[in-house]
A and B are shown apart, each in its own frame.
Chain A
């Protein structure tokens, strides 16, 4: 039985271009307080465009209705559980949005002199300090714009440290359970990817790694907890093995929501790692971004961190550009400042004990769901779950679509690739028992439907305003813009 939702009408809406009518406007500009300038005269007629062909012409009311109507076609955390595994879709506190829009933070220019931006620099310094504390590392750069950008920064740092030792190496080892960004990053950083299979428990295969690591291996990238939601219990041993061969250990911190406050990677041999502030520290995903992917490192990497670095002097905070060993700039300016502000607000709201409690609750929710679902679905690997659990079912795609009819966003489908028909479920700590029970009931009910009426599940969803979308046709003959 579907308990969470019933249907309600949603409005049809044309594209902006189809709503346009000539001469309609939605903007206001004050009258010019200086003489007008003839564009053709100032720039040369050949540099001035006639018009922006087909650009929208709509009113202010048209705009607000258009985007409000579109918004109602989305599912969102604000509507309910969003159990995408490895994505950490937790509640996004609104105070974070409020503080990011503080005038004195929102309207400051990155090139205003450091003396006129002391408040911004103090925020960044405090966030660096807190992230160092959480990871057990020695230094952090806040510049990377997202997780994959942090990975790239990290692997460039690996390269810089090894090359400074005169230690040119060619390969980076990536487990087959890793996110696709890992191998892609390694390639972008100019290294060769060596894939390594997980063992029959879905974990790092210590023996295989020991055989593989040689003087040509620069590093290993380890996601911990791994994409099965299982803590890599041999991680400290693996770090020892790699260090003994002069190789480094990078940790993909995408799943840090399982560790904050209970386990610090810097304490057990991890050399460097990135964090996803848009996962662990609640900054909104916004339909795909913006994110932020700070990289935390051990001391030996510090001289190589991206330009510029924060520096404390008696006169206050300033940016240090005189860093000859730095890997250079990974982006303009200093990072996604607005996202960093939100993350610090989250960390302040929790405090040290609150962070540990949030982690415990994330583990509680994941293990509770696992317990409720285990009688009905096959757990992929029978190891203790941390913040997420992965089941295996050949009908994972269909079950996911059927979940939509029950009022939920699906879990992560068919990932990690090492599980046949993966159903990867991460509830996060911000869900109540009521919501988790509704979700478990839905999946249990669907399991029954799979047995009794598989066709019903196969053709889902039924309740959405848009029926099943033909993604194959979209790729076969791509239409990537409105053509009138």
Chain B
């Protein structure tokens, strides 16, 4: 090949680079290792993390069972090793699956349009906020303090330099839900959107319909956020919201220390041209057969450059495919039963502990510690190879002695009993 090119040696292929930009040294990276050595290294690192028999952490990342079919499908090279489906004629597999994904997200959320995925829930939130600003021409955002604290931090990073003012409103200290008075005070004539999460960070289910009425009366849009997608199997969909931004990790996506996950962005029909990211649409081929392709690309950065709805390019297609397979496996009946199991498990433990809030909860709740400190409780559980709940004062200084606990279909009764015992209940 070098002969064909007419270069004596590989180094001659870049001999035209000025001396000043060439790296003459040798990279300080150990010599290439064999497959077995690599597996061995990662196994060793894996064993340095706790391998818990049970994990009661939730807070945006949930331990749900992953049906075997999910990895079977996403390991197929045709899905794993293909690019963004720009060439529709040879990408119908990915395109069809995304179309099914968009449809199922709409069915779950009650929205009319869903995109092909965002990076994750946390980045879907600022994208929804920016979308609301373009739609309303207003520049204020009011966000509930019960929205995931890290989602709110990301919102602040994104909005800081765009002339957007973000204000936060409180939760009701009894119910753990949105404080409607505080919400009312946080809004003004410049409020583009109000952002709430349900189940919220404390696991509480919000009165979305009522909040939507309050928000719409002020001419603002309601952005509904979810981080526990399994709840949608049981809860009334947020059809009164205008935009839905969510996280699909619960749908067969492993916790994997926080990523990769897949974000959802869905909205009412009239806002379709303000949606960021990729959209797949149905059309026909020249033989009149149904076909799918990427569409409405004039919203996107590769066409519109600085006038695009977002700078997003890569999304989370393979992760969204995991969620798609998950939704197909569980289906209408299974997702309901799964959600009901989560509800039953969390209430089994929740009813035995002193809960901070009295609002309705799905699979997470805030427990108040009794005679033992949070550290002592989690230390006892750790000795049983159980990871306890999240101490809440990390994000809410006012919530000392409070632990956010999550129970899913994977929480065994005996382990939940151990948690109750560790609390001294």
When distances are taken between beta carbons in the complex, the residues of chain B under 8 Å from A246 are none
- The stretch among A204-212, A259-267, A294-302, A447-455 that forms the contact with chain B is A259-267
Distance A193 CA – B307 CA, assembled complex (angstroms):
10
Q: Are B83 and A133 in contact (CB under 8 A)?
A: no
Shortest Cβ gap from A342 to chain B (Å): 10
Distance A363 CA – B2 CA, assembled complex (angstroms):
11
Residues of chain B in range 110-148 having any CB-CB distance to chain A below 8 Å = 112-114, 116-117, 119-123, 148
A323 at the interface (CB under 8 A from B): no
Q: Are A42 and B122 in contact (CB under 8 A)?
A: no
When distances are taken between beta carbons in the complex, the residues of chain B under 8 Å from A108 are 49-50, 255-257
Q: If the complex has contacts A351-B29, A474-B283, are A333 and B79 also in contact, measured as CB distance less than 8 A?
A: no
A410 at the interface (CB under 8 A from B): yes
When distances are taken between beta carbons in the complex, the residues of chain A under 8 Å from B330 are 26-27
A44 at the interface (CB under 8 A from B): yes
Q: Are A401 and B278 in contact (CB under 8 A)?
A: no
Residues of chain A in range 24-40 having any CB-CB distance to chain B below 8 Å = 24-27, 29-30, 32-37, 39
Extra A-B contacts (17), CB below 8 Å, given A72-B78, A105-B49, A188-B311 = A27-B330, A46-B209, A109-B255, A133-B28, A148-B314, A180-B304, A187-B311, A261-B23, A268-B21, A285-B83, A286-B81, A288-B94, A288-B116, A289-B314, A345-B38, A351-B33, A368-B1
A456 at the interface (CB under 8 A from B): no
A226 at the interface (CB under 8 A from B): no
Distance A130 CA – B107 CA, assembled complex (angstroms):
45
Q: Which of A123, A146, A264 contacts B314 (CB 8 A)?
A: A146
Distance A108 CA – B258 CA, assembled complex (angstroms):
8
- The stretch among B59-67, B167-175, B178-186 that forms the contact with chain A is B59-67
Shortest Cβ gap from A123 to chain B (Å): 5
Q: If the complex has contacts A29-B338, A70-B97, A107-B255, are A159 and B161 also in contact, measured as CB distance less than 8 A?
A: yes
Q: Are B59 and A111 in contact (CB under 8 A)?
A: yes
Q: Are B311 and A99 in contact (CB under 8 A)?
A: no
Q: Are A334 and B258 in contact (CB under 8 A)?
A: yes
Q: Are A364 and B10 in contact (CB under 8 A)?
A: yes
Q: If the complex has contacts A16-B328, A34-B348, A480-B280, are A74 and B42 also in contact, measured as CB distance less than 8 A?
A: no
Q: Are A433 and B296 in contact (CB under 8 A)?
A: no
When distances are taken between beta carbons in the complex, the residues of chain B under 8 Å from A145 are 119-120, 123, 259-260, 314, 316
Return the CB mask of A185-227 against B: 1 if under 8 Å, else 0.
1111110010000000000000000000000000000000000
Shortest Cβ gap from B359 to chain A (Å): 10
Q: If the complex has contacts A70-B96, A410-B87, are A338 and B233 also in contact, measured as CB distance less than 8 A?
A: no
Q: Are A333 and B259 in contact (CB under 8 A)?
A: yes
Return the CB mask of B364-387 against A: 1 if under 8 Å, else 0.
000000000000001000100001
Shortest Cβ gap from B16 to chain A (Å): 5
A341 at the interface (CB under 8 A from B): yes
A136 at the interface (CB under 8 A from B): yes
Return the CB mask of B20-54 against A: 1 if under 8 Å, else 0.
11110011111111010111011111111111100
When distances are taken between beta carbons in the complex, the residues of chain B under 8 Å from A354 are 31-32
Shortest Cβ gap from B234 to chain A (Å): 6
Q: If the complex has contacts A67-B97, A367-B7, A478-B295, are A26 and B29 also in contact, measured as CB distance less than 8 A?
A: no
Q: If the complex has contacts A466-B88, A468-B89, are A481 and B279 also in contact, measured as CB distance less than 8 A?
A: no
Q: Which of A36, A332, A470 contacts B121 (CB 8 A)?
A: A332
When distances are taken between beta carbons in the complex, the residues of chain A under 8 Å from B113 are 480-481
Distance A261 CA – B27 CA, assembled complex (angstroms):
7
- Chain A residue nearest to B152 in the complex (CB): A329
Q: Are B161 and A189 in contact (CB under 8 A)?
A: yes
Q: Which of B39, B99, B236 contacts A48 (CB 8 A)?
A: B236
Return the CB mask of B239-279 against A: 1 if under 8 Å, else 0.
00000000000000011111110100000000010000011
When distances are taken between beta carbons in the complex, the residues of chain A under 8 Å from B294 are 471
Distance A82 CA – B416 CA, assembled complex (angstroms):
51
When distances are taken between beta carbons in the complex, the residues of chain B under 8 Å from A37 are 340, 343-344, 347
B336 at the interface (CB under 8 A from A): yes
Q: Which of A33, A105, A353 contacts B32 (CB 8 A)?
A: A353
Distance A99 CA – B46 CA, assembled complex (angstroms):
9
Shortest Cβ gap from A101 to chain B (Å): 7
Distance A352 CA – B293 CA, assembled complex (angstroms):
41
When distances are taken between beta carbons in the complex, the residues of chain B under 8 Å from A32 are 341, 344-345
Distance A430 CA – B362 CA, assembled complex (angstroms):
49
Q: Are A364 and B295 in contact (CB under 8 A)?
A: no
Q: Which of A43, A103, A111, A386 contacts B61 (CB 8 A)?
A: A111
A118 at the interface (CB under 8 A from B): yes
When distances are taken between beta carbons in the complex, the residues of chain A under 8 Å from B71 are 101
Q: Which of A57, A75, A306, A368 contacts B332 (CB 8 A)?
A: A57
Q: Are A469 and B344 in contact (CB under 8 A)?
A: no
Shortest Cβ gap from B392 to chain A (Å): 11
Q: Are A188 and B2 in contact (CB under 8 A)?
A: no
Q: If the complex has contacts A110-B258, A289-B319, are A470 and B296 also in contact, measured as CB distance less than 8 A?
A: no
Q: Are A33 and B286 in contact (CB under 8 A)?
A: no
- Chain A residue nearest to B9 in the complex (CB): A360
Distance A53 CA – B161 CA, assembled complex (angstroms):
42
Q: If the complex has contacts A104-B51, A364-B2, are A471 and B295 also in contact, measured as CB distance less than 8 A?
A: yes
- Chain B residue nearest to A190 in the complex (CB): B161
When distances are taken between beta carbons in the complex, the residues of chain B under 8 Å from A130 are 29
Residues of chain B in range 325-354 having any CB-CB distance to chain A below 8 Å = 325, 327-338, 340-341, 343-345, 347-348
Q: If the complex has contacts A29-B338, A332-B120, are A34 and B84 also in contact, measured as CB distance less than 8 A?
A: no
Q: Are A236 and B21 in contact (CB under 8 A)?
A: yes
Shortest Cβ gap from A107 to chain B (Å): 6
When distances are taken between beta carbons in the complex, the residues of chain A under 8 Å from B156 are 328-329
A394 at the interface (CB under 8 A from B): no
When distances are taken between beta carbons in the complex, the residues of chain B under 8 Å from A328 are 153-154, 156-157, 160
Q: Which of A30, A118, A263, A331 contacts B22 (CB 8 A)?
A: A263
Q: If the complex has contacts A119-B46, A475-B296, are A55 and B331 also in contact, measured as CB distance less than 8 A?
A: yes
- Chain A residue nearest to B92 in the complex (CB): A73
Q: If the complex has contacts A180-B305, A467-B285, A470-B286, are A117 and B13 also in contact, measured as CB distance less than 8 A?
A: no
Shortest Cβ gap from B46 to chain A (Å): 2
Distance A351 CA – B30 CA, assembled complex (angstroms):
5
B205 at the interface (CB under 8 A from A): yes
- Chain B residue nearest to A53 in the complex (CB): B107
Contact sample, A vs B, 6 pairs, CB 8 Å cutoff? A29-B334, A55-B108, A102-B43, A130-B29, A288-B116, A480-B272
When distances are taken between beta carbons in the complex, the residues of chain A under 8 Å from B409 are 29-30
When distances are taken between beta carbons in the complex, the residues of chain B under 8 Å from A231 are 14, 16-17, 21
When distances are taken between beta carbons in the complex, the residues of chain B under 8 Å from A339 are 259-260
Distance A179 CA – B28 CA, assembled complex (angstroms):
31
When distances are taken between beta carbons in the complex, the residues of chain A under 8 Å from B63 are 107, 109
When distances are taken between beta carbons in the complex, the residues of chain B under 8 Å from A461 are 89
A68 at the interface (CB under 8 A from B): yes
Q: Are B150 and A333 in contact (CB under 8 A)?
A: yes
Shortest Cβ gap from B150 to chain A (Å): 4
When distances are taken between beta carbons in the complex, the residues of chain A under 8 Å from B260 are 145, 289-290, 292, 336-339
